[in-house]
Amino acid sequence: MAEQQQGVEIPRVKLGTQGLRVSKLGFGCVLLTGFYNEPVPEDVGISIIKHTFDRGITFFDTSDIYGPKTNEILIGELKYQQGIKKLQITECDSPGIGATLSP
């Protein structure tokens, strides 16, 4: 018997003062690049980010401390592969960077 996946709508919240709206639930990218563990292969990292994005997560917590621009490159590659038209990058706190994808 196949299990049916029920969709859950992830609420959005306003971030900052310029009208940026992001998912209330974010995804921390720290475990993708080997900060606490071995880094995942690039294709696996992209697949994980795609999986979360496909389920409504549009806020990805990244930082240079996890690896210089490593997570941002994974997000950019997903944007390229999927033809995502809008990518908003916001610097939240130096050296941290947050990325928001919009379908």
The answer on pLDDT for 80 being more than 80 is yes
Tokens at residue 19, please?
A: 């009208």
Which tens digits make up the pLDDT trace of 24-77?
A: 998 988 888 887 888 899 999 999 999 998 898 988 888 777 777 888 888 888
Tell me, yes or no, whether 63 lies in a domain: yes
Q: Is residue 28 part of a domain?
A: yes
Query: Is 65 part of a structural domain of the chain?
Result: yes
Please state, in angstroms and rounded to a whole number, the distance separating the CA atoms of residues 12 and 22: 5
* Structural domain includes residue 13: no
Q: Give me the residues paired with residue 89 across strands.
A: 99
User: Does some domain include residue 6?
Assistant: no
Q: C-alpha angle 51/87/43, rounded to 5°? A: 40
> Does 80 qualify as catalytic in the annotation?
no
Residue 78 has φ and ψ, to the nearest 5°, of -60, -45
The catalytic position among 66, 72, 78, 79 is: 66
CA 65 – CA 95 distance, rounded (Å): 7
Q: What is the pLDDT of residues 7-28, one digit of tens each?
A: 788 999 988 888 888 899 989 8
Interval 58-67: pLDDT, tens = 888 887 777 7
Residue ranges making up the domain that contains 52:
21-102
